[in-house]
């Protein structure tokens, strides 16, 4: 499905993201009692979470997962959970029962991936179905911790996989797979800075682009791409 693309300043993109998030939540919660989402770390988190935290939402019905996590303790400066806790979960007073972090601190990453997958499937079904996924994009076109040139797991029903050799430090990570990300009811992609312009142009305008972000956008059911003016350079 063709993505809707908006190019603007980051503060305005944050408001656009918040409006899309709020309307999607309202639509889903009008049908059932649970809104299941997956969130990123990085620049998108820093830009969008303060605005999301101010929304008048009933967070008691919103289940929060992460698209990926570093193999670090939950209070580590590199933890996506720690960033989200500071900018979104604590300010919005999200109930702990609705927070489903990946246990990146476990020494055995395979065990951590299985535990994260079990919790995800208990909430979102098997295969998991997110209502909304929010993701950033790397300069190389990676999303979550799915990097270019890395084979996907042979078992396509595996929703969470361990990463032992990420080209971007830290090397050890946990990540959702592309099929799980792409099956979301609604996908929001944020990309900021001139270093993202080429990969986003390729993903949006080249039919055979091979980067994870390009593949994700091709597979996505419905998507909104938010680019700042530098990333939106054509």
pLDDT in tens, the chain (234 residues): 578 999 999 999 999 999 999 999 999 999 999 999 999 999 999 999 999 999 999 999 999 999 999 999 999 999 999 999 999 999 999 999 999 999 999 999 999 999 999 999 999 999 999 999 999 999 999 999 999 987 666 555 789 999 999 999 999 999 999 999 999 999 999 999 999 999 999 999 998 899 999 999 999 999 999 999 999 976
Q: Is residue 142 in some structural domain?
A: yes
- Report the pLDDT value the prediction gives residue 208, as an integer from 0 to 100: 87
Q: Quote the tokens at residue 195.
A: 């270093």
Q: Considering Cα of 64, then 50, then 231, then 226, what sign does the dihedral take?
A: positive
Quick check: 49 and 84 in contact, CB under 8 A?
A: yes
Q: What is the CATH number of the domain that holds 121?
A: 3.40.50.1360
Give the structural domain span for 77.
4-227
Q: Is residue 119 in some structural domain?
A: yes
Q: Is residue 232 in some structural domain?
A: no
Q: Is residue 12 in some structural domain?
A: yes
Give the C-alpha separation, 149 to 166, whole Å: 11
Torsion angle, alpha carbons of 3, 10, 200, 77, to 10: -110
Q: How far apart are the first and last CA of the chain?
A: 21
Q: Is residue 14 in some structural domain?
A: yes
Give the C-alpha separation, 169 to 172, whole Å: 8
Question: Can you name the residues that pair with 187 across neighbouring β-strands?
Answer: 133, 223
Give the C-alpha separation, 116 to 132, whole Å: 18
Strands of 173-176's sheet in order across: 68-70, 173-176, 160-163
| Number of domains into which the chain is organized | 1
Give the C-alpha separation, 134 to 150, whole Å: 22
Give the C-alpha separation, 62 to 84, whole Å: 15
Q: Quote the tokens at residue 132.
A: 């909304």
Q: Is residue 18 in some structural domain?
A: yes
Q: Is residue 234 in some structural domain?
A: no
Give the C-alpha separation, 192 to 31, whole Å: 34
Question: What value does the CA radius of gyration of the chain take, rounded to a whole number of Å?
Answer: 16
Give the C-alpha separation, 119 to 116, whole Å: 5
Q: Is residue 233 in some structural domain?
A: no
The whole-model pTM stands at 0.96
Q: Quote the tokens at residue 27.
A: 């639509």
Pick from 99, 94, 83, 100: nearest CA to 48? 83
């Amino acid at each position: 499905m063709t993505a809707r693309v908006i190019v603007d300043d980051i503060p305005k993109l944050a408001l656009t993201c918040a409006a899309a998030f709020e309307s999607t939540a309202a639509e889903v919660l009008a049908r059932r009692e649970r809104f299941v989402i997956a969130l990123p770390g990085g620049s998108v988190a820093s830009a969008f979470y303060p605005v999301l935290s101010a929304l008048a939402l009933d967070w008691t019905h919103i289940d929060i997962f992460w698209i990926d996590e570093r193999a670090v303790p939950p209070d580590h400066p590199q933890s996506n959970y720690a960033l989200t806790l500071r900018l979104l979960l604590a300010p919005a007073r999200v109930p702990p029962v609705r927070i489903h972090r990946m246990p990146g601190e476990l020494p055995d990453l395979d065990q951590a991936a299985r535990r994260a997958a079990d919790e995800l499937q208990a909430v979102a079904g098997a295969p998991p179905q997110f209502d909304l996924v929010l993701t950033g994009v790397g300069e190389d076109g990676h999303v979550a911790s799915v990097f270019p040139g890395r084979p996907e797991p042979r078992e396509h029903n595996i929703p969470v996989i361990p990463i032992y050799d990420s080209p971007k430090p830290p090397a050890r990570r946990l990540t959702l797979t592309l099929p799980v990300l792409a099956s979301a009811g609604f996908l929001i992609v944020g990309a900021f800075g001139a270093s993202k312009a080429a990969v986003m142009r390729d993903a949006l305008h080249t039919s055979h682009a091979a980067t994870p972000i390009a593949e994700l956008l091709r597979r996505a059911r419905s998507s909104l791409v938010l680019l700042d003016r530098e990333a939106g350079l054509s």
